[in-house]
Amino acid sequence: MLKCRVIPVLTFNGFALVKTKKFARNARMVGNPVQAAKVYNARNVDELVFLDIYASDNNRKMNLQMARSIIKECFMPVALGGGINSIDDIHDLLAIGADKVVLKSKIIDEPEFLNEASNVFGNQCISIAIDAIKEGDGLYYLYNRKQKKILLQEFLWKIKGYSFGEIILTSVNNDGMMNGFDIELVKIVENIVTVPIVVSGGGGEPKHFKELFLETNIEAVGAASIFHFTRYTPRDLKLAIQEIGRAVRLVEKDFIPLN
Amino acid sequence: MGNVTSVEKALKKIGVSSTITDNQDEIAKADFIILPGVGAFKKGMENLQTSGLADFLTEQVIEKKKPFIGICLGMQLVASDGNEPKPIKGLGWIDGDVIKIKSNLRVPHLGWNEVISKNENSLFHDFQKQDFYFIHSYHFKPQDPKYVMLSVEYDGEKVAAIHKNNIYAVQFHPEKSQDFGIALLKKILDQHA
Amino acid sequence: MEIRFCNVCLYPETKPDLHFNDYGKCSACIAASQKDEGIDWDQREKDFFEIINKFKLKDNEIGYDCLIPVSGGKDSTYQAYFMKHVCGMNPLCVCFETTKVTEIGQRNLDNISKMGIDVIHFKKNYNAYRSMVKEGFIRVGDEMWPNHIGIFTVPIMVAVKFNVPLIIWGENPQQEYGGPLESIEKNKLTREWLEEFGGLLGNRIQDMVGVEGLTSKDLTPYFYPSDGDLEKTGITSLFLGHYFFWDARKQLEIIKEHGFEVKEDGPVEGTYTNYENLDEQLVGLHDYLKFVKYGFGRATDHVCIDIRNKRLTREQGLELVRKYDGNYPHYAVNSFIEYSGMSKEEIDQIIDSYTNPVLFELNDDGSFARDEEGNLVRNYTIGG
């Protein structure tokens, strides 16, 4: 049976690990990404996502040296994203050992790039990041820094026709707030797309994760703040998810007391 | 193409030195051939054909009986017939089709899933019930089920590992499946040490 | 590489949890200004005595009415002195000893009992702790990792077992060293505070189970007491620095009169001061790791405090940082070789793995460039 995945998401600003709240620009400095990778590898996490969140804004590429040092520590699948613009960019990242790449800015205007990339690399390596923001009118829009007003559902229906492996869905409103996931958003998206979805944004304690897996049919969740700033580890979240009857992968060797 | 760096890294962890190459002389000198793969069947076969590796590998593996491990696409290419995106011939070492996963479940089959042993005498048997990492939209159906060592449940049983003489192939990614994946690689390599 | 520095002190933007306001002033300096102007210290002092008087034992009672975690360092020595001799409480001090105690650190620790106070000196399982020291170094680039946990969990465990609910800590590091502004308002040290600001670098005690065969039992004192136990005992952890204006140098002068010794033969490795971090032989390594990760070390920390306390100008600070920050810690590394059994090559390799390739110059072959003294070459300008 396919296991539900709990995936730490590392966000990078070009030289250090940071954490945003509601995608605001003044991200909180967290520290060194290599040690985060080592910790997560020691924890046998299901996967790792590593994103250079200001790459596109600053017109640059992911620092390959840094990416290489992170992948070196990981014996689980790693997805890299940030500033990917061309087939060569994807090739460079896969060549240093990434398993998947995450596209975002490029596909807003050029969704056909997805087919181009999938043809060369296979759609399994191509993930797309969809950041959704709920505006005052109660509707969801695709968050972007190009000042474009794009209704989320419209975008999803459009993108559905192209070839890619997975969606990383993040709620901008709940990002970094640790007050629960945007269940309404998840339900909208999971009813439209047929590829696997990783839901992210708002996970602050185990009960949020229970709620997510109970009220939706999601099979994967991403989290960051909870691991940086609280007592909870991915294992705690998996135990919580298991408690409500969903299958997770637990690599248990020794007894560990309740957290 | 393909996630060769990860395989090299995993091999290094178990003390096995490897070279990433498409050079026929180097391949001829190797004790073991590993073909990892991430990508489309058609592109994969085209790459092998144009580089002359398709025939060369067939010679090495089928005639010279060199031990071989195929991973993910590397396993699917071993088949006689592929379909991604259109019908196309594979390496033909094991008869069978590679077909698209058609399901109400989400595709690709992506994530950790536990394997089921189909042959208690195989070296794969010890790994039953362990989770390995899968990421694929197509799956391989060998014509003769006796070559299937492990299967995985995803809207019906799908082939997870096959073994025919000196050919080992897995649909999942052992180089990405942490301890058990690395242990499996080691076990296969130890067979021909 | 352009790195932004605070306009007032010398903290760089690479420092975890630091942030800048619209005028380029860092959160540590903002907190310091609040210290000087924005806080009613008289009221805070009143609040403090109101709280501790609830716990203070009467003249005809025996027992301990507060617990003070101590290390032998100047801060905790001051806390002990203050609670006993100024507030008239009857403290129990609990020492979770440092990794490799220095001679002067040991004397300063002994001095606390000579100030007329009972001290429980927790002698930890050497093997378990050492396994964690090595793993902390390898996994998160901090050989002091288990110490960050132990100095919090052990005193609290003792407080629960001895039923001493009031625990007095020193400065709020987020206040003195600049964390998110919300954290500065936190007057209590809770479990949540430890997880967020305790310097655990994303690693948790559960992650140490299985390392070199360690079991949960081996790690008993490092698991935080349960929420239930904390509530039952009524644990109340206060930062002294929240209620009283924290001035480290002034406090140092006071405790020197009560037997506290400073290093007479030169500054502590990694900085220019001779009265901080005296107790730990390995502190230079910990500080150097901080430097290679973030581009600033302990000298910067001390310079910034002195700038904020108006003892140095920014220019004077710059000179001290240039001279003392980021020098390879030979003394600490030699101590660490002895303690861990790792070779210098292994140790240097780990240090390199944590060195930020964006902050320091690289040679053509990808290795880090070093100057004639063997130190890294910054590719940013200190001070911005």
For every residue of C231-294, DSSP letters joined together read HHHT-EEEEHHHHS---HHHHHHHHHTTT----SSSPPTTSS-SSSSTTBTTHHHHHHHHHHHH
Is the Cβ–Cβ distance between C141 and A35 less than 8 Å? yes
Cα(A29)–Cα(B125) distance, integer angstroms = 47
Read off the amino acid at residue C6: C
> Is A251 within 8 Å of B110 when comparing Cβ atoms?
no
Cα(C211)–Cα(A15) distance, integer angstroms = 30
Residue C177 pLDDT exceeds 70: no
pLDDT in tens, chain A (259 residues): 999 999 999 999 988 899 999 999 888 989 889 989 999 999 999 999 999 999 988 888 998 888 988 998 998 899 999 999 999 999 999 988 899 999 999 999 999 999 999 988 888 889 999 999 999 999 999 999 888 999 999 999 999 999 999 999 999 999 999 999 999 999 999 999 999 999 999 999 999 999 999 999 999 999 999 999 999 999 999 999 999 999 999 987 788 887 8
DSSP state for residue B63 in the 8-state scheme = I
Q: Identify which of C18, C192, C206 has the shortest CB distance to residue A29.
A: C18
Q: pLDDT of C29-85, one tens digit each? A: 988 888 788 788 999 999 999 999 999 999 999 999 999 999 888 999 999 999 999
User: Where do runs of H (alpha helix) occur along A122-200?
Assistant: 152-159, 183-192
Q: The tokens of A107 are what?
A: 């596909």
- Chain C: touching chains (3 or more CB pairs < 8 Å): A
Q: Identify which of B110, B153, B182 has the shortest CB distance to residue A196.
A: B110
Residue C180 pLDDT exceeds 70: no
Q: What is the pLDDT of residue C185?
A: 54
Q: Which helix (H) or strand (E) holds A126?
A: strand A126-134
Give the position of tokens 């809207």. B155
- In sequence order, what are the residues at sequence separation of 6 or more whose Cβ sits closer than 8 angstroms to the Cβ of residue A14? A52, A54, A55, A58, A60, A63, C358
Cα(A130)–Cα(A128) distance, integer angstroms = 6
> Is C206 within 8 Å of A28 when comparing Cβ atoms?
no
For the question of residue A131 being annotated catalytic, the response is yes
Residue C187 pLDDT exceeds 90: no
pLDDT, chain C, mean: 91
Q: What is the pLDDT of residue B96?
A: 94
Residues of A in contact with C368 (CB under 8 A): none
Q: Cα–Cα–Cα angle for A188, A193, A195, nearest 5°?
A: 135
**Alpha carbon of B170: minimum distance to chain A alpha carbons (Å):** 16
Number of C-beta neighbours around residue C23 at 10 A: 8
Residue C375 pLDDT exceeds 60: yes
Q: Which helix (H) or strand (E) holds C131?
A: helix C126-140
Q: What is the pLDDT of residue C175?
A: 64
**Alpha carbon of B63: minimum distance to chain A alpha carbons (Å):** 30
> Is A35 within 8 Å of C202 when comparing Cβ atoms?
yes
Q: Say whether residue B47 is in contact with chain A using an 8 A CB cutoff.
A: no
Is the Cβ–Cβ distance between C224 and C153 less than 8 Å? yes
Check whether the bond before A206 is cis (ω within 30° of 0): no
**Alpha carbon of C360: minimum distance to chain A alpha carbons (Å):** 11
Q: Phi and psi of B118, rounded to 5°?
A: -110, 0
Burial of B12 (0-12, 13-18, 19+ CB in 10 A): exposed
**Alpha carbon of C194: minimum distance to chain A alpha carbons (Å):** 9
> Is C358 within 8 Å of A43 when comparing Cβ atoms?
no
Q: Which helix (H) or strand (E) holds B8?
A: helix B4-13
- In sequence order, what are the residues at sequence separation of 6 or more whose Cβ sits closer than 8 angstroms to the Cβ of residue C343? C337
Q: What is the pLDDT of residue B2?
A: 56
Q: Say whether residue B117 is in contact with chain A using an 8 A CB cutoff.
A: no
Check whether the bond before B85 is cis (ω within 30° of 0): yes
Is the Cβ–Cβ distance between A206 and A236 less than 8 Å? yes
Interchain touch B–C (≥3 Cβ pairs closer than 8 Å): no
pLDDT band at C121 (very low <50, low <70, confident <90, very high): very high
Query: What's the N-to-C CA distance of chain B in angstroms?
Result: 28
Counted across chains A and C, CB pairs separated by less than 8 A come out at 96
Is the Cβ–Cβ distance between B66 and B32 less than 8 Å? yes
pLDDT in tens, chain B (193 residues): 557 888 988 999 999 988 888 888 889 899 999 998 777 788 888 888 888 889 999 999 999 999 999 999 899 999 988 887 788 899 999 999 999 998 889 999 999 999 999 999 999 999 999 999 999 999 999 999 999 999 999 999 999 999 999 999 999 999 999 989 999 999 999 988 7
Q: C166 in the Ramachandran plot: left (φ > 0), alpha (ψ -120 to 50) or beta?
A: beta
Mean pLDDT for C121-136 is 96
Q: Identify which of A97, A125, A249 has the shortest CB distance to residue B131.
A: A249
Cα(C76)–Cα(C69) distance, integer angstroms = 7
Q: What is the pLDDT of residue C183?
A: 60
Q: What is the pLDDT of residue C47?
A: 92
> Is A195 within 8 Å of B6 when comparing Cβ atoms?
no
Is the Cβ–Cβ distance between A138 and A148 less than 8 Å? no
Stated length of chain C:
384
Maximum C-alpha span of chain B: 47
Q: The tokens of A244 are what?
A: 């409500």
**Alpha carbon of C165: minimum distance to chain A alpha carbons (Å):** 22
Q: What is the pLDDT of residue B58?
A: 92
Read off the amino acid at residue A58: N
Cα(C198)–Cα(C213) distance, integer angstroms = 25
Q: What is the pLDDT of residue C119?
A: 97
Q: The tokens of C128 are what?
A: 């378990």
Q: The tokens of C262 are what?
A: 């400073």
Residue of A nearest to C137 (CA): A35
Mean pLDDT for C304-326 is 92
Among C201, C351, C367, C378, the residue to mutate for chain A (most A Cβ within 10 A): C201
Cα(C182)–Cα(A175) distance, integer angstroms = 18
- Chain B: touching chains (3 or more CB pairs < 8 Å): A
Residue of A nearest to B43 (CA): A120
- In sequence order, what are the residues at sequence separation of 6 or more whose Cβ sits closer than 8 angstroms to the Cβ of residue C9? C26, C28, C29, C303, C304, C307, C308, C314, C317
Is the Cβ–Cβ distance between B79 and B48 less than 8 Å? no
Cα(B53)–Cα(B22) distance, integer angstroms = 8
**What percent of chain C has pLDDT above 70?**
96
Q: What is the pLDDT of residue C18?
A: 87
Residues 224-243 of A with CB under 8 A from C: 227-231, 233, 235
> Is C14 within 8 Å of A16 when comparing Cβ atoms?
yes
